[in-house]
Structure 1
Amino acid sequence: MRKINLLFIIYDLDRGGPEMRLLDFARFFPQEIKINICVTSKSMALLNEFQKSDVDIKVLPIIKAYREKEKIYEIHDYIKKKRITVVNTFDIKGLMIAVFIKSFLNKKIKIIHHTVDLLHNYKIRHKASLWFLLKFVDLSICNSSHSKNILKGRFIGQHKIKVIYNGVDIEHYNQNNYKASSFKKKHNIDHDKIVLGTVANFRKEKNYPFLLKAFADLDKKHNNLVLLCVGGGRELDEMKEYAKEIGIEDKVIFTGYSEDVADYLGIMDFFLLCSLKEGFPNGIIQAMSMGIPVIASAVGGCNEIINDQETGMLFSPNNALEFEKCVSRLILDKDLSLRLGNNGQRNTRERFSMKTMIQSYLKSFEEIDGKV
């Protein structure tokens, strides 16, 4: 593989989808691929993790890119100094910076925009900006066909869009690496309890009120249940209060943010995701990699990961009756639970391994770099 110098312009290095994907690049890319990162804020929670890899990090806080041209020129000088040929972006601010540099300072660079959300939180002016800026990119990489379908036609031509599914480190997310009994004891969970769990930050689209209310109903039918909620976020305290209101606070464990969710996954009997919207949820493939049966709402990329009744179970979003029926079936039918867990694990290792993802990204970077 020939040497390629890449720049990634990213808002922060906190624990989120784009940041974790970039950390995967830093850990698993071959040494011929030089990763340079420009962070446009001072949020750097993952800095120590990135510094364990051979990456160069430039911190340059930018509030309004169109008002801080001197900083854009500084990034251009950095690109020139590092002999960067491909610039990667994840948000409108980063894309605006890259497009300005390509249009006025260095027409030779190639731009890859990574589409990491579903645009549902974008205001009209943001969608208009994205529509304009995407005309200048050489490639847009989406992590699901659902995301691709949102972009194509309205924002960018189909020939400039590629889908690369997220990958999971199947060596790390391996049930054999974790002792469920000792971790259950640590969290005061009796060995005979059935642990229903989820890994998702507390945001509106994750639909935690639905999950908590459905769990309360299930708890009346199956009296040996525990709900494990792994994640943090702005709605965490509100959901703790809601759990008290509906009388399940002693049966729900809220862990807050976790740097490594594998230990928590290791004690789950079933993995649940009740989202209203999804791109490509990493939690599902992490759980599947560990052989945990998955029940998820049939939204976004969930439909691309799960073959209903074969590798997991899907239910209509916000349909409590369907959801509770799925959970009860798995609790009562151990053969079905085992089959779905095994099939899901095999599916993940065949389609969503870290190796497969890394190879796909490397091929894309080589193709784009070859056009410089």
Structure 2
Amino acid sequence: MKQDTRPLILHVIHHLHTGGLENGLVNLINHLPESRYRHAVACVEDFSDFRLRVTRPDTPVIALHRSRIGVWRLRQGLFRLCRQFRPTIVHSRNQSGLDALLPARLAGVPHCIHGEHGWDVDDLNGERVKPALLRRIHSPLVDRYITVSRDLRNYLVQRVHISSRRVTQIINGVDTVRFCPPSTRSQQLLPEGFAGPDAMVIGTVGRLQAVKDQETLLRAFARLVSGGGEVESRARLVIVGEGPLRDTLIRLADSLGISARTWFPGNISNVAEILHTFDLFVLPSLAEGISNTLLEAMASGLPLIATATGGNLELVTEGVNGRLFMPGDIDALTRLLSQYLGEPSMLRTHGGNAREMAVRRFSLPVMLASYQAVYEEFCDRR
């Protein structure tokens, strides 16, 4: 049997389930040239049905269950995987991926790339000493760092003291064919009786956890509709996603008196279609790398309201494709919601600008070309 000489890239991530990092990985595997690369995915913890989005049948996905077996057995498992698969590149991501670097080197892997895709939940500003120290200790094992945002690049250079020559920024790409503006806004996916034909739908998509801060959006929406004006009476809120705070957020909506105007559909597979029901997209996160959902909303032609943090500052140009507010500022978010709902022309203009920016600067082909350039640099050194 002829030996397969295509370079193998072993991707190491915490888990493979619904999320921005995971979505970007799936896009990478599915769209990089199949004739050029093979892939495998090692999950430090586990995977969900999200793995079925990997369309290439030659891509194994392995769960290592660190929380069950402990970190030392995890490292042994990673060592064995590297000896079995003989990857040309191990591409680890975020803090949990650091555990793959030493086993990879001991197993003879020639090249290691490490990606930073967002802030740890307990270190939203990158100020804790231990995470920075862990990254510094592992830095001799890394050939190249990839960050999705300028904010994360600066963290590695200034806080972890990684040479800027070793850091490449690659912003996530969005499929601008799948995510595109509809010919007309549709309400077919919304619950029956939830929104009338003249409703203004405010929406967000993201995991229901503290860092995404949907609570601020709920409280701002409640203040918006409490005014009782004609425009405000047409407002509806859709919060897409699943997570540990789902029940808490539903109870909060009830206590604020906005349950009838708020829909929690949970996780959905047809995000592109649900975005067609929105008039305005809001991302109230306390911290972000580069948000895939923000990019998908841009490509769908939606105006954006987002927090002035992390990679959001690279995606939202104030007054051009959206507006920014400080994390947790309920008053500011309420004002911005009111302004957009009261000015339909601004909705249209900013939505059109968002689509144009997504196509020109953040398309999937741009991202794929950037990753391929990095991979080729190291594949050529084998």
Tell me the TM-score normalised to structure 1 length: 0.91
Change (3 A) 1:288 1:68: closer
Rounded to whole Å, the distance in 2 between the matches of 1:78 and 1:29 is 23
Q: How far off is 1:93 after superposition?
A: 4.1
Note if contact 1:110-1:137 (Cα within 8 Å) is conserved in structure 2: yes
Is 1:217 aligned to residue 218 of structure 2? no
Does structure 1 conserve the Cα–Cα contact (< 8 Å) formed by 2:75 and 2:103? no
Q: Is the 8 A contact 2:282 2:305 kept in 1?
A: yes
2:342 corresponds in structure 1 to 332
State the partner residue of 1:118: 119
Q: Which residue of 2 aligns with 1:183?
A: 189
Describe the SS at the equivalent of 1:118.
Answer: coil
Q: Which of 368, 371, 378 does residue 358 from structure 1 map onto?
A: 368
Paired residues for 1:1-372 under 5 Å: 3-31=6-34, 32-50=36-54, 52-62=56-66, 63-67=69-73, 70-80=76-86, 84-102=87-105, 104-106=106-108, 109-119=110-120, 121=122, 124-155=129-160, 156-176=162-182, 180-184=186-190, 186=192, 188-221=194-227, 222-372=232-382
Give SS of 1:201's match. Answer: coil
Shift of 1:121: 1.9
Root-mean-square deviation (CA), in Å?
Answer: 2.2
Which secondary structure state, in structure 2, belongs to the residue aligned with residue 299 of structure 1? Answer: coil
Structure 2: gaps of 5 or more residues: none
Query: Does structure 2 conserve the Cα–Cα contact (< 8 Å) formed by 1:178 and 1:263?
Result: no
Looking at structure 1, the residues matched to 234 and 184 of structure 2 have their Cα atoms a distance apart, in angstroms, of: 23
Any unmatched runs of 5+ in structure 1? none
Structure 1 position 168, deviation (Å) = 0.7
Kept in 2, the 8 Å contact 1:195–1:226? The answer is yes
Q: Does the Cα contact within 8 Å between 2:112 and 2:142 map onto a contact in 1?
A: yes
CA distance in 1, matches of 2:239, 2:76: 45
Preserved contact between residue 10 and residue 89 of structure 1 (Cα < 8 Å): yes
Q: Aligned partners of 1:187 and 1:367: how far apart in 2?
A: 56
Question: Are 1:184 and 1:191, in contact at CA under 8 Å, matched by a contact in 2?
Answer: no
Could you tell me how far 1:59 is from its partner in structure 2?
4.2
Taking the aligned partners of 1:141 and 1:10, their CA distance within structure 2 comes to 14
Secondary structure at the residue paired with 2:159? coil
Percent pairwise identity: 24
With structure 2 as the length reference, what TM-score do the two structures score? 0.89
Q: Alpha-carbon deviation of 1:87? A: 0.8
Task: Confirm or deny: 8 A CA contact 1:36 1:55 kept in the other structure.
Answer: yes
Alignment-mate amino acid for residue 380 of structure 2:
G
